[in-house]
Amino acid sequence: MTHEIAVIPGDGIGQEVTPAAVDVLEAVDVDFDFVEGDAGDAVKEATGEALPAETRELAADADATLFGAAGETAADVILPLRDVVGSFANVRPARSYPGLDAVQPDTDIVFIRENTEGVYSGIEAEIDDGVRTLTRVITEDASREIAEFGFSYANRNGFENVTIAHKANVMRETDGLFLETAQAVGDSFDVDYDTALMDALAMHLVMHPEEYGVVICPNLAGDMLSDLAAGLVGGLGLLPSANVGEDNALFEPVHGSAPDIAGEGVANPSAMILSAAMLLDHLDYGGEAAAVREAVEDVLANGPRTPDLGGDAGTDDVTAAVVDRL
């Protein structure tokens, strides 16, 4: 069976790390058909649209999508793409790797971020001169869906502790609904769980990340907490992510287009290659996914390394080293 994969490199280092992930997927024993689409600043400049209709359709019709990064237009690209693939869960593992400098070398956390609502509902208005509002939406359905996904994920992947993040002491009705819905789901699973105010959680994650496993978050909290965790493990160059829907999904590194180093061939492809590993997992090639992850870990431990990790290798060297180990 051949899987059709939409490949959307986007801007900046997206153009460099996306081909790296494709190289790795071509090196494993699975049949893929790659179809490439444009998105981001460059295509907006050329056509007026950051996410052309053809690219949307590509992602909608594919079995899965690999997305690199976008520049200024990031929100105009990634938010609609998440919608196109019907993704309700954003899965963001943050792990520290042996041998790499990390603020907290004992981190292994998976953030399960609600991916459709909260402040991302995007309903804003100017209700008077200099007075603007945004309507944050929380629904019981989306809260239940993300909690079920998170607790199942914890069970399936052997995590023994789950944390539900919230700010229900201030957002009493909305995060109150998120919290009570997620707790009810948690009670029906055979996993230990805790709840945490997201401000206190930010502090505890910085001091004691080793105490956390799976963290289920409302949308914006997940955005911030997963980036915080990226800081703990050595930066965004290491964090993959999956935007998971009912029957489609999109995989992207947590990092952006990094205009400061774009075009130099030194971008760290690890986050993107690890995103490809998540794609393999999603399509049920668990063995191949594990092999890719092991290869990346081995290269992270032994080099070659890109400059963000203190090395002087290029994107291609790292990619070749990963492919070599497969």
Which residues are part of the catalytic machinery? Answer: 120, 167, 199, 223, 227
Please give the C-alpha separations between residue 215 and each of 97, 128, 202, 232, in angstroms, as whole numbers: 20, 38, 12, 15
Q: State the amino acid at position 77 in one-letter form.
A: V
Contact 243, 250 (CB under 8 A): yes
Is residue 199 a contact point for ligand IPM (CB under 6 A)? yes
Residues 46, 123, 125, 170: which binds ligand IPM (CB under 6 A)?
Answer: 170
Is residue 171 a contact point for ligand IPM (CB under 6 A)? no
Is residue 78 a contact point for ligand IPM (CB under 6 A)? yes
Q: State the amino acid at position 286 in one-letter form.
A: G
Query: Residue 28 or residue 261: which is nearer to a copy of itself going by CB?
Result: 261
Residues 6, 74, 196, 289: which binds ligand IPM (CB under 6 A)?
Answer: 74
Query: By rule CB under 6 A, what string of x and - marks binding of each residue 85-114 to ligand IPM?
Result: ------------------------------
Is residue 169 a contact point for ligand IPM (CB under 6 A)? yes
CB-hemisphere CA count at 13 Å for 85?
A: 30
Is residue 228 a contact point for ligand IPM (CB under 6 A)? no
182-185 LR contacts (CB < 8 Å, sep 24+):
182/143, 182/144, 182/146, 182/147, 182/150, 182/216, 184/144, 185/144, 185/147, 185/148, 185/151
Query: By rule CB under 8 A, what string of x and - marks binding of each residue 184-223 to a copy of itself?
Result: --------------xxx-xxxxxx------------xx-x
Strand 161-166: give its sheet, edge to edge.
31-36, 2-10, 64-69, 249-253, 240-245, 87-95, 108-114, 214-217, 161-166, 192-197
Residues 47, 61, 134, 290: which binds a copy of itself (CB under 8 A)?
Answer: 134
Contact 222, 112 (CB under 8 A): yes
Residues 30, 60, 79, 119: which binds ligand IPM (CB under 6 A)?
Answer: 79
* Gap between the Cα atoms of 236 and 227, Å rounded: 7
Please, which of residues 225-264 interact with a copy of itself by CB under 8 A?
225-228, 230-232, 235-236, 256
Q: Give me the residues that bind a copy of itself (CB under 8 A), please.
A: 74-75, 79, 103-104, 119-120, 122, 124-126, 129-141, 167, 169-174, 177, 198-200, 202-207, 220-221, 223-228, 230-232, 235-236, 256
